[in-house]
Amino acid sequence: MYSKLESKYDKIFQELKRINRFMYDNPELGLREFKALNILTEFLKENNFKIETKFCNIETAFLATYNSTKKGPNIAILAEYDALPDIGHGCGHNLLGTTSIGAGVLLKGFVNEYGGTISIIGTPAEETFGTKVQMAKNEVFKDIDLAMIVHPTSGNYHLRSTSSQAMEALEFKFLGKTSHAAGSPHLGINALDGVINLFNGINALRQQILESDRVHGIIKNGGEAANIIPDLSIAHFYVRSKNRKDLLSLLKKVENCAYGAALSSGTTLEISNYETSFLNLITNKTLMDLYEKQLLSLGIEKMKDSQSSGSTDAGDVSYVCPTIHPY
Ligand SMILES: [Zn+2]
């Protein structure tokens, strides 16, 4: 089977290289990946995949399926193709998307022989909106037996799928009352004080949180001019923990810092999510061991564990379907 795969791979390699280069040269931000959507689905259509665009009501998402005539598992390969502002494809999602469609086309030979379905799911905006979260909520993975995605990495090693952090993206909006800072400061309520108190509260909290926890933020809005007491100030934070349980406990403490900040500054506080929140990745060990065994048999010398310091929307997939996310 491998020799058959190799000859098939040689046939599609130049085409994959062209697609990868095109996406690298035409980076598109999340939910605007129209060129990538076109080139990826064109290739899959040419290879007899059935294409559904605007999948899950997301404009640049797609589902490409290939059914063999025999019964068998439904194997999902997830594709990403969004880029970063200013940098372009810094994260390598051009390679990720290309790898996923290449793997899907090669797997056709397997399902023709052993049965089953290949579902290549185009999942836009991993860097921002994390559309896999919406897909997991909408039961896209209900009939999928396993999901795989492989991310490029800059090191010399293949990295095992391990875990990623559960993450919540919180906006803290403090509302006060404007007044002239020199003429009538006693009439104002300083919204920026709410944000500054929040940062100080969180900085004090750091000593009492787990080593695996992360809380990091910025001031999005700190006022308009130094002589005007700001009536609005906004902070954005990412709060991360190794799993959902730890995250919920940490979130409560961070939110209490915000309530305290509002109370001491006399401001009104609104808390909301400014981006999609991600669950932690739970790697399916059986699938990961198989993946590693196959790579080693192909001459890869050794693999290392990946670091779990970041977050990915594949975490939400792993809560509803056996998943691996190696690098
Ligand atoms: Zn990435």
Q: Say if residue 1's pLDDT is above 80.
A: no
Q: Please state, for a pLDDT cut of 90, what percent of the chain lies above it.
A: 90
Do residues 29 and 177 both lie within one domain? no
pLDDT digits (tens, 9 = 90+) for 79-113: 999 999 999 999 999 999 999 999 999 999 889 99
The rounded Å distance from CA 79 to ligand 1 centre is 11
Domain final residue pick, 273, 288, 305: 273
Which CATH number is 143's domain given?
A: 3.40.630.10
Query: What pTM does this model have?
Result: 0.90
CB 229 within 8 A of CB 189: yes
Residue 295 CA, ligand 1 centroid: distance in Å: 22
The total domain count for the chain is: 2
Same domain for 151 and 297? yes
> What pLDDT shows up at residue 276?
93
Distance 130 CA to ligand 1 centre (A): 11
155 and 238 share a domain?
no
CA of 48 to the centre of ligand 1 (A): 28
CA 39 to centroid of ligand 1, rounded, Å: 20
Q: Do residue 298 and residue 158 come from a single domain?
A: yes
Ligand 1 centre from 77 Cα, in Å?
Answer: 15
126 Cα: distance to centroid of ligand 1 (angstroms) = 7
Q: Which domain holds residue 135?
A: 2-163+280-324
Q: How far is the CA of 94 from the centre of ligand 1 (A)?
A: 10
User: Residue 270: pLDDT band by 50, 70, 90 thresholds?
Assistant: very high
Question: Would the pLDDT of 308 be above 90?
Answer: no
CATH no. for residue 265?
Answer: 3.30.70.360
Does 123 share its domain with 260?
no
Note the pLDDT of residue 5. Answer: 81
Domain end, chosen from 230, 250, 273, is at 273
The upper half-sphere exposure of residue 79, i.e. CA atoms within 13 Å in the direction of its Cβ, equals 30
At residue 7, the pLDDT reads: 86
Percent of the chain with pLDDT over 70: 99
Question: Averaged over 185-201, what is the pLDDT?
Answer: 98
In the reported structure, the alpha carbon of residue 312 is separated from the centroid of ligand 1 by a whole-number distance in angstroms of 8
The pLDDT assigned to 2 comes to 73
Residue-wise pLDDT tens digits, 132-147: 999 999 999 999 999 9
CA of 127 to the centre of ligand 1 (A): 7
**Are residue 54 and residue 199 in the same domain, yes or no?**
no
Instruction: Summarize pLDDT for 198-220 with one digit per residue, the tens.
Output: 999 999 999 999 999 999 999 99
Q: Which of the two residues, 69 and 81, has the higher pLDDT score?
A: 81
Rounded distance from Cα 81 to ligand 1 centre (Å): 9
Domain limit, last residue, from 236, 258, 273: 273
CA of 138 relative to ligand 1 center, distance in Å: 23
In this structure, the answer to whether residues 209 and 220 fall within a common structural domain is yes
Compute the distance from residue 1 Cα to the ligand 1 centre, in Å: 31
Q: Are residues 182 and 238 in the same domain?
A: yes
What distance in angstroms lies between residue 230's CA and the mean position of ligand 1's atoms? Answer: 37
Same-domain status, 53 and 174: no
Could you tell me if 71 and 133 lie in one domain?
yes
Residue 13 and residue 152 in one domain = yes
Assign 3-class secondary structure to the chain. Answer: CHHHHHHHHHHHHHHHHHHHHHHHHCCCCCCCCHHHHHHHHHHHHHCCCEEEECHHHCCCCEEEEEECCCCCCEEEEEECCCCECCCECCCCHHHHHHHHHHHHHHHHHHHHHHCCEEEEEECCCCCCCCHHHHHHHCCCCCCCCEEECCCCCCCCCEEECCCCCEEEEEEEEEECECCECCCCHHHCECHHHHHHHHHHHHHHHHHHCCCCCEEEEEEEECCCCCCECCCEEEEEEEEEECCHHHHHHHHHHHHHHHHHHHHHHCCEEEEEECCCCECCCCCCHHHHHHHHHHHHHCCCCCEEECCCCCCCCHHHHHCCCCEECCC
Are residues 137 and 64 part of one domain? yes
Instruction: Look at strands 214-221 and 232-241 and give their pairing.
Output: antiparallel
